[in-house]
Structure 1
Amino acid sequence: MNNFNQDNGMQKRMLIMTLVVFIFFIAYEFLVLKPQQEEKLKQQEIAKQQKQNAAPDVATGDSMVQNAPTKDSMSKSINALSSKSIGKADIITTITTAKNSIEIDKLGRVAQVTLLEPKYKDEEGNQIKLFEADQLRPLEVRFANTDINNKAFEVAYTTTSSSVDATKQPQTFTLTQNIDGLILTKDFTVYPDGHYDLKVKTSQKEQFFITNGFRPNVLADMYADHGAYVKLNDGTMELTSDEKLEKVKSYTGIKFVSNFDRYYATVIYNFKNSMQISLMPDNNDNPQSFVHALGEIDFSGYMGPKNFNDLKALNPELTDVIEYGWFTFIAKPMFTFLQFVHSYVGNWGWTIVVLTIIIKLILYPLSYKGMVSMQKLKDLAPKMKEIQVKYKDDKQKQSMHMMELYKKHGANPMGGCLPLLLQIPVFFAIYRVLLNSIELKGAEWILWIHDLAEMDPYFILPILMGASMFIQQKITPNTMQDEMQKKIFQMLPVIFTFFFLWFPAGLTLYWFVNNVFTIAQQYSINKIFERQRAAKK
C-alpha cells in the first residue's frame, strides 16, 4: 500500500510517461529522418560484393524445389534497362481502360502506367505516371537458366494487338517471344477497372520468375512506409521496407505481393492457387519481388491507387494492401467507419468532426470519471496535506489514512490519466488513416484547407489547436506541487503546436475538435463542483 507521496508521484510519472510516449511517436514519425551515412553505405556496398550470388533454396509443399533468381540474371536485366531509356518506338502495345493507360514495351514489360482519372494529377497538373526511368518494370520475366535469360533480353516480343480498348468491356491479347525455339507467351485479359488476368507459359518446362516491378515512385517520403508487403495463406502480413533488405528472403503460400509507396501499389495476387515468391535486394537494399514459376503460371494484377473501394471490388482481401502500421488493428476498422460516416456527410473534413464527436461520446463515461476524480483530488488537497504532515514519520499510517480518504470521497489518483492513455492509440490510428488513405488526398474542407492529407498551409489549425490546449490546461484542476513540473506542463501547448505545424490538416482538425469538446466537458464539470461548494457553505 503506497503513501500519498507515492500515489501522487505515481500519477505524475504516469502522466509524464504518457506524454513522453506521445512525443516519442511524433518525433519518430515526423522528426526522425531515415538517412544512412556515407560511411555506412560504403560498408554495405562492400558487404554486398562479398555476398554469395546464389540465393538459398525455398522449401515448398511440392516435390520440386524452385530456386530464387540469381544476381547474374538481375544484373543482366538492369543493364538492359538502364543502358537505354524506353522510348515510344519501344512500345508495342498500348492498353486503355476506364482508369488508366498501360504501355507494354518490346521486352514484354509494363513500361508505364498513366492514371486517367482527373483527381490523379501531379503538382504541374499532369496525369500521374507510376514509374520512373531505370527501374525494374512489372511483368519482366527472368529465367533460371542464365543462357536463356541472356538471350531473352535480346529478343523482342510480338503482339496480337498494338492498341487495346478496354474502356467498356474486357479485352484479350497475347504477347509472344521466340528464344531460339523456346516460345514464351503472355495471354492477357484486361478489364475496364484497370486490373488484369495473366497466364504466362513456356513451350518447354523451364523455370522462370516474373516480377510485379519496383514500387511506384510517386510519393515515397519519411512519413509513410514504402517497400514490399506480402500476405500469407494463414492471413498474416509481412512488411519489408525500402533500404531494409540485406539478403534474399523467400516465401511459400503467398496470396499477394505488393510493392508500394504512400498512395500507389503494383500488386500480383492469386487467391485460388498460392504463390511462391522471393524478395531480392537491389543495390540500395530495396526489395524487388519475383514470383516463381515452372513452365507456366497464372495470376491477376493491379497497378494504381490504393483506393479501398477499388481494391475491395477486386477482392475484399486486397484491402490489406493498404498498410496502416502498428495500429492497423484500430486504423482499418476506423477507416471503414469513416467511410460509412462520409457516405452520409459527404465531406471528409466534417466527417472527421463527426468522428471526433462520436469518439468523445464513447469515451465520455471514462473521461467524466477522470475529470471528477481530478476535481475531488483538488478539493481534498488540504486534507491530504494534513495527513501528510500528521503522519510524516509513519508512512504506513499515512498511506492507510490516505486510502481511507480516497475511498470515502470516491477519488482516484490515477483517474485523470486514463482518458489520455486511451487517446494515444486512437490518435495514431487516425494519423495512419489520414496518412495512408488516398481517398483523403485532395479532400477539401473549408476556405483555406484544400487537402486534409497535407499540412495546413497557413498554420491556422495548429495555432487554434495550441490555443485550445492552453485553455484546456488552464481550466483543468492541477494537483502538482513541484514547480519544475508545473513549468514543463505549461510549455506543452507551445511544444505540441510546434509538432502539429507539419501534421496533416485532418489530424490537426481531429485534435482541435477533441480539445474543444474536452474544454466544454471540463467547464461543465467545474461549474457543477462550484455549485456544490457554494451549497456547502
Structure 2
Amino acid sequence: MKKDDTNSRVLLAVVVSFIFIIIYSYFVQDPSKAQQKREQANTAKSLDSTESSTSQADSPNFAHNQAPQASQDSPFQAPARPIISRVVSSSVEVEIDDLGRIAQVYLKDKKFTAPRQEGFFSHLGKLFGLNSAESTPQEKLPLFAPQTILPLEIRFQDQALNAHATNTTYKASNAHITLENNGTPQTLTLTQTMPNMTITKTLQFFYDDDGLKYTINIAMSKPTPYALSSGMRPVADDDGYAFHGVVLKSDGLKGTIEKIEDKDAKLEGQSFTQVPFISASDRYFTTLLFTRDVRGLHAQVVGDSKKHPIPYIMLDSNIELEGYVGPKNYQLLKSIYEPLTDVVEYGLITFFAKPVFLLLEWLYMLMGNWGWAIIGLTIIVRLILFPLSYKGIMSMQRLKDLTPKMKEIQEQYKGDPQKMQMHMMQLYKKHGANPLGGCLPLLLQIPVFFAIYRVLYNAVELKSSQWILWIHDLSVMDPYFILPILMGASMYIQQALTPNTLDPMQARIFKLLPIIFTLFLITFPAGLVLYWTINNIFAIGMQLVINKIIDKQRAVEIAKHKKPSKDHAQKTKPKTKE
C-alpha cells in the first residue's frame, strides 16, 4: 500500500470520528439530562467543597488576620435554611435565610430565562423518539448552588462564639420587600442576639434592571475578629472554557489583578491587602463586595477540600460595604463603581481585549444590534490589518512564482545542504522574496483574533441577542448550523484563492481544514462563528483584489519584455531611398 493512501485513510478516519462525535452528542445524549447532570454536579461539588451551615465544619478556628480553616468534605447534606425575608423587583428576586445570608438570587429578565434554541438534530431526534428534551422557558434563573458559602456569611475566630452564631437565627424587620423603579432604596434590618453578642446587619437594596445592588452595614455589640464572605461563585453558567473562580485587586486601585481559579486555590489560604473589591465569578455572573475607602480591605482566599476558592474579608469591628450580585455587564459595573470593570476578565490578553470590547459596544450603540456590530468590528479589524495581510499575500505569491527555480536548486544541490541554502538565499534576495514574509503577518494577527474570541465568548451582553431570522441568541450555537457551513465554505474558497507552496500531501491536509474547523466550531456561540465567517468573506474579497493587482503587474512586465527597445527599433528600421 502506498504511503499517500495510508495518510489519506488516517485523515478520513479523523473526519469520520468528528462526524460521529457530533451526531452522537445530539441523538444519544439527551440535552435536558446533560443539563440536569451538570446541576447535580454543581450541587455535589458545593457539598463536597464547602462547609454546610449546620455541620461541624461551620465552626472554623482561625487566628486574627488569618484565613478561616479550610473545610473537609461535609459528612452529610444539610437541609436548606428557612427563608426569613424576600426582596422582589421586576428583574430580581432575593431570598434571605435565618443565618442572615443572601441564600439565593433569581434573575427574571427574559434574556436570562429564554428557552434554549432547538436545532435540526433536536427536531429530527424527537421525530424518531431519540431525544425527548423539551425547551421550555424558565420563570427565573437561580445563581447559587445550594448548601454553599453564601454572600454575607460570617465566621468568628472564637470557636464558642462561632458555634453560637451558627445555631442562633436572625430576625428580619420585614418578611417581604418590593423594589420599585423610582430610585428609592428599601432597608432591611437583620438582628442576631446571642448571650454575649448582638449582630445587626442593615441592608439597603437598590432597584436595577439586571442585578442586585445593595449596601451592608455590620454592627457588633463588641469588637471581635471575624471573617465576612462575599460568597462562592455563581453556577448559572458553568461553561468549561470560561474563567471560574475569584478575582480581586490588591495593593490599591492601581495595584495588580489577582485571579484564583477553581482547583488552584491553596488550602492554607492567600492573603491580600489594600483590596478595593473581591469577586467570585463564572462565565457571565458574579457576586462581589467592595469599598470606596482608599485604604481598601484585608482579604483572604481559602481553598476548600477540592481547592475551589472561598473569598473572605478579614475584620475586627463594624464595617460598611457595598455589594452586587448579577451579570458581568461592563457598563452596569462601571456605573456602580468604575474599578469593578476589572471583574470582566478575558485572561492574559485582557489588556488588549477590553478596548476591543469597548469598540464592539460603541458599534452596538451605533447600529442597535450585536450581530451587525460584530460584522462592523470584523471589517474594521480587517482594514487595520490590511497592510500586513497584503504584504503576507504578496510574499507568498513571490514564493509561489519562484517554486520552479527553488525545485531546480534543491535537485541540483540535494547532496550539499550548505550550497543549496546559499543559492536559495541568493534567489530570495534577487527577487525580493522572504520565506518568512507570509508567516510573520499571520503571527502578528493571532493576538487580535484571540482577543476578539475572548470578548465574544465572555460578553454577557450578547446573551439572548437576536441577529437575523434563525439566530435568536448570539451567545449559543447556531441551531441549524447555517453559519458553520457558510464558515467552512468561505474558508475553502479562501484557501483556493490563496497562493501556496505546499507539497501534495500538505495540500490534502490543507483542504481538509475547512471540514475540521466546521465540525470543531459547530457548537461554538453563533457570535464567534459569525465573526469568523465575515472575516473569511472579507479575506476572499481582499484576495480577489490582490489577484487583480498581481495580474496587472504581470501584464506590465510581459509587455515590457515584448516591447522592442528604441535602439533596436532604429537598427531594424528600413532605409529610405535618397
Deviation at 1:206, TM superposition (A): 0.9
Distance in 2 separating the partners of 1:245 and 1:390: 61
Quote the offset at 1:422 in angstroms: 2.8
The equivalent of 1:144 in structure 2 is 157
Contact 2:247 2:280 in 1 (8 A): yes
Q: Does 1:177 align with 2:192?
A: yes
Structure-1 separation of matches of 2:300 and 2:186:
31
Residue aligned with 1:447, SS: coil
**Would the alpha carbon gap of residues 359 and 143 (structure 1) be closer, same or farther in structure 2, given more than 3 Å must change?**
same
**What is the letter of the counterpart of residue 117 of structure 1?**
D
* Cα distance in 2 for residues equivalent to 1:266 and 1:185: 22
User: Which residue in 2 is equivalent to 1:155?
Assistant: 168
Counterpart secondary structure, 1:516: helix
The alignment's TM-score, normalised by the length of structure 2, stands at: 0.77
User: Structure 1 pair 157/361, CA: closer, same or farther in 2 (3 Å)?
Assistant: same
Give the conservation status (yes or no) of the 8 Å contact 2:494–2:540. Answer: yes
Report matched runs for 1:271-310 at 5 Å: 271-272=292-293, 273-310=295-332
Cα deviation, 1:353-400, whole Å, max 9, x if unaligned, reads 111111110010111111111112222223333444555566555544
3-state SS of paired residue (1:120): helix
- Relative to structure 2, which stretch is displaced further, 232-241 or 312-321? 232-241
* Structure 2 CA distance for partners of 1:187 and 1:531, relative to 1, 3 Å: same
Shift of 1:301: 0.6
Q: Distance in 2 between matches of 1:421 and 1:174?
A: 58
The Cα shift of 1:527 comes to: 2.4
Structure-2 separation of matches of 1:529 and 1:464: 28
Following TM superposition, by how much is the alpha carbon of 1:514 offset from its aligned partner in structure 2, in angstroms? 0.9
Distance 1:419 1:464, change over 3 A: farther
Tell me whether 1:495 sits opposite 2:512 in the alignment.
Answer: no
After superposition, the Cα gap between the structure-2 partners of 1:55 and 1:388, relative to the gap in structure 1 and judged at 3 Å, is farther
Gaps of 5+ in 1: 1-34, 36-40, 46-52, 58-64
C-alpha displacement of 1:291? 1.1
Offset at 1:310?
A: 0.8
Mapped to 1, the partners of 2:221 and 2:62 lie a distance apart of 27
Aligned partner of 1:85 in structure 2 is 80
Q: State the structure with more CA Rg.
A: 2
In structure 1, what is the Cα distance between the partners aligned to 2:349 and 2:474?
20
CA contact (8 A) 1:185 1:202 kept: yes
Corresponding residue number in structure 2 for 1:188 = 203
Q: Which residue of 1 aligns with 2:461?
A: 439
Contact 1:122 1:128 in 2 (8 A): no
Paired with 1:337 and 1:152, the residues of 2 have a C-alpha distance of 49
SS at 1:446's partner residue? coil
Counterpart selection for 1:337 from 350, 356, 359: 359
Cα RMSD of the aligned pairs, angstroms, is 2.7
- Give identity over the alignment, percent: 46
Q: What is residue 70 of structure 1 aligned with on the other side?
A: 69
Q: CA deviation at 1:483?
A: 3.0
Letter aligned with residue 95 of structure 1 = V
Confirm or deny: 8 A CA contact 2:62 2:68 kept in the other structure.
no
Kept in 2: contact 1:352–1:510 (CA 8 A): yes
In 1, the alpha carbon distance for the partners of 2:245 and 2:540 equals 42
Spell out the pairing of 1:350-361 with structure 2 (5 A cutoff): 350-361=372-383
Q: Which residue of 2 aligns with 1:102?
A: 94
Per the TM alignment, residue 517 of structure 1 is displaced from its structure 2 partner at its CA by 1.2
The SS at the match of 1:257 is strand
CA distance in 1, matches of 2:334, 2:364: 17
- Quote the Cα distance in structure 1 between the aligned partners of 2:507 and 2:112: 49
Runs of 4+ in 1 over 6 A off after TM superposition: 53-57
- Is 1:55–1:67's contact at 8 Å kept on the other side of the alignment? no
Alignment partner, residue 214 of structure 1: 232
Q: Deviations over 1:92-150 (max 9, x none)?
A: 22223564222212211112212233322154331212123222221111111111111
C-alpha distance in 2, partners of 1:75/1:391?
A: 69
How many Å separate the matches in 2 of 1:133 and 1:54? 20
Q: Distance in 2 between matches of 1:476 and 1:464?
A: 18
Is residue 2:245 matched to residue 1:239?
A: no
Deviation at 1:535, TM superposition (A): 4.1
Amino acid at match of 2:493: I
Per-residue CA deviation, residues 229-268 of structure 1 (Å, 9 max, x unaligned), is 1211243122222233241222222121111111111101
| Residue equivalent to 1:7 | none
Contact 1:96 1:164 in 2 (8 A): yes
401-410 vs 266-275, which deviates more? 401-410
In the TM superposition, residue 339 of structure 1 has moved relative to its aligned partner by 0.3
Q: Distance in 2 between matches of 1:206 and 1:312?
A: 34
Q: Aligned in 2, Cα 1:461/1:423: closer, same or farther, shift over 3 Å?
A: farther
Distance in 2, Cα, partners of 1:238 & 1:164: 36
In structure 2, list runs of 5 or more residues that go unmatched: 1-37, 39-44, 50-58, 116-136, 559-578
Once residues 427 and 344 of structure 2 are traced to their aligned partners in structure 1, the CA distance between those partners, rounded to angstroms, is 51
Distance across 2 between alignment mates of 1:256 and 1:82: 31
* Cα drift, residue 332 of structure 1: 1.2
| Structure 1 length-normalised TM | 0.82
Q: Is 1:197 aligned to 2:215, yes or no? A: yes
1:261-308 deviation digits (Å, cap 9, x = unpaired) = 111111011131311122223343221111111022221110111111
The answer on whether the counterparts of 1:210 and 1:292 sit within 8 Å (CA) in structure 2 is yes
Which residue number corresponds to residue 507 of structure 1? 528
Q: Aligned with 2:236: secondary structure?
A: coil
How many residues are aligned here? Answer: 475
Give the whole-Å Cα distance in 2 for the aligned partners of 1:116 and 1:488: 48
1:20 matched residue in structure 2: none
Partner of 2:275: 254
Whichever residue aligns with residue 145 of structure 1, its letter is: D
Asked whether the 8 Å contact 2:392–2:442 carries over to 1, the reply is no
Give the letter for the 2:225 counterpart: Q
Aligned match of 2:395 in 373, 389, 406? Answer: 373
Picking from 430, 436, 442, the partner of 2:452 is: 430
* CA shift in 2, pair 1:368/1:459, >3 Å: same
